[in-house]
Each structure stands twice: as C-alpha cells, then as structure tokens.
Amino acid sequence: MLVSIITPVHNAESHVEETIDSILNQTFEDWELILIDDFSTDNGVEILKKYEEKDSRIRVLENDNNEGAAITRNRGIRAAKGRFIAFLDSDDLWLPEKLEKQLEFMKENNYAFTYTSYHIFKDDVEEGIMKVPEKVTHQELLKTCSIGCLTVIYDTDKLGKMLMPIISRRQDFALWLKILKEIPFAYGMQEPLARYRLRNDSISGNKFKAASYQWRVYREFEKLNLFQASYYFLHYSFNGVLKTYFKSKK
C-alpha cells in the first residue's frame, strides 16, 4: 500500500459519502482509506461500514469517546500501512487526479512534504481558489498558514510517522510547523487539486475564534515570547485582511 488517507469523521452523514466517493474516483488506486469515527451520534457509522464492506481498501475505526480531531487523526496515522500519509476531512473533496499528480510531483523532485492549491465552495457555489506559494519555510508559515490540510501529503520514509500535537484547535497547522523544524521547505503545487467546503459553523469561518487559536499556537505550542508572538500575529492578521479584500474583489 503506497498511500494512507486519514479521514476523521464526526456527525458527517450529510457529506461523508461525497467525500469517500471522491477518493474512490481517484485515477491512482494504490491507497487505503482509514475512516475514524469520533463517537458520532448520527447514522454516519453505518454509512462508513457500508463502504468498508464494498471495498477492501477502506478500514473503519471507532472511538469509544469523543476525542477531537488531533487524537482521532493520530489514531489513523498510527494504523496507517502506507509510505505516504494524506489527509482529507469528512466534508471536503479531492479532484480525480489529486493523488496521481501530487505523488508524481513528490517522486520526481524527491520532496518529503507537499501541498496544493484548492477550490473553496459553500452550498455548491464556488467561492474562489486558494493559491499557494511554490515553497514555504517554518518562519514563513508562522506569518500565514498557506497549507490546507486537505491537500497535504508527507513521506514517512523521509520523516517517519509525524503525529499531530494534542491541542484543541489548529493541530494541523502545528504539525506543519513541527515538520518544518525537521526539513527546510514544504513544496506546493499551483494546480488546485481539492475542494474545501466552507461551513457556517466552521472555525475557519469564525475570524475571532480562528485568531484566538492562532495566538495559542504561537504561545503554547511554538513557545514564542510575547514580542515574537505579536510579530507573527500581526503578519497573520494583515495577511488575513488581504485575503478577505482580494476575495471581495472577485
């Protein structure tokens, strides 16, 4: 098995079938999908098990309690058998050639950690494209997180199994920072190969909450002093304003 796809699931019955179908429609087929149900109270587990019965590449794990995204994703990472670890949340989507193109990009360039641009949509309406830089360093990522979790693939042969820090929010961002302390760059593909679903109740949709969690990553995870944290937070805030402004001009 070459690629292990980690998908945490919690009360996602309205979207998870579309997410799984986007994986089944991949042109690259040497993958396993690890679906970890985080103690859902809807009918999501039945949907997951239906897919597990139909395709031997799909495995379903169930948490005994609601553990949150970091612990749930880490359970999937630990269970993974593939060389490459990829992430896709239960309401996001991949374009059919996502794995094929990104793996080729990684192998041809000997990259350990990559990401891509992605579409943003809400209620089936296209909101725009999140374009990403060709590469980022740890310091650059502190200023603005240009890496979407739904687009990431990392190589365990080069990095080992890198787990998400156990923090309440922004654990994916904290993991990218952790990886970039081990290697100098993460590399991005300009072509959008995934679709991010914007929801009214998402943390990313609530600017104040997102900002507060960003600050906590700086102070509690990165252990930056007050001056350093303020410096990067100003960059984060300014870049957020720029993204909102240019989005409004589309």
What average pLDDT does range 155-177 have in this prediction? 96
pLDDT of 6 above 90? yes
pLDDT at residue 64, as a whole number: 97
pLDDT in tens, 93-111: 999 999 999 999 999 999 9
Confidence band of 208 (pLDDT split at 50, 70, 90): confident
213 is written with which tokens?
């969690």
The answer to whether 191 and 101 have CB atoms below 8 angstroms apart is yes
Please tell me the predicted confidence (pLDDT) of residue 65.
Answer: 97
Buried b (16+ CB within 10 A) or exposed e, 123-153: eeeeeeebebbeebebeebbbbbbbbbbbbb
Torsion of CA 33, 196, 174, 8, to 10 degrees: -30
User: Mean pLDDT over all residues of the chain?
Assistant: 93
- The CB density around residue 67, as the number of other CB atoms within 10 Å, is 18
Q: Are strands 31-37 and 3-9 parallel, antiparallel or unpaired?
A: parallel
Res. 248 pLDDT band, cuts 50 70 90: very low
| Length of the chain counted residue by residue | 250
Task: Report the pLDDT value the prediction gives residue 243, as an integer from 0 to 100.
Answer: 54
pLDDT at 202: 52
Q: What is the pLDDT of residue 246?
A: 37
Provide mean pLDDT across the span 1-19.
96
Please tell me the predicted confidence (pLDDT) of residue 13.
96
pLDDT above 60 (res 126) = yes
Cα angle 213-219-223, degrees, rounded to a multiple of 5: 140
pLDDT digits (tens, 9 = 90+) for 220-247: 999 999 999 999 999 998 876 545 433 4
**Model confidence at 141: pLDDT above 90:** yes
**41-75: per-residue pLDDT in tens?**
999 999 999 999 999 999 999 999 999 999 999 99
**Parallel, antiparallel, or unpaired: how do β-strands 153-155 and 84-87 relate?**
antiparallel
CA max distance for the chain: 54
Mean pLDDT of 129-139: 97
> Would you call 11 exposed, middle or buried from its count of C-beta atoms within 10 A (0-12, 13-18, 19+)?
middle
User: How sure is the predictor about 209, in pLDDT bands with cuts at 50, 70 and 90?
Assistant: confident
Q: Which domains, from first to last, does the chain contain?
A: 3-200 (3.90.550.10)
For residue 137, the model assigns a pLDDT of 98
Q: What is the pLDDT of residue 125?
A: 93
DSSP track, 202-226? -TTT-HHHHHHHHHHIIIIIS---H
For residue 84, pLDDT over 60 is answered with yes
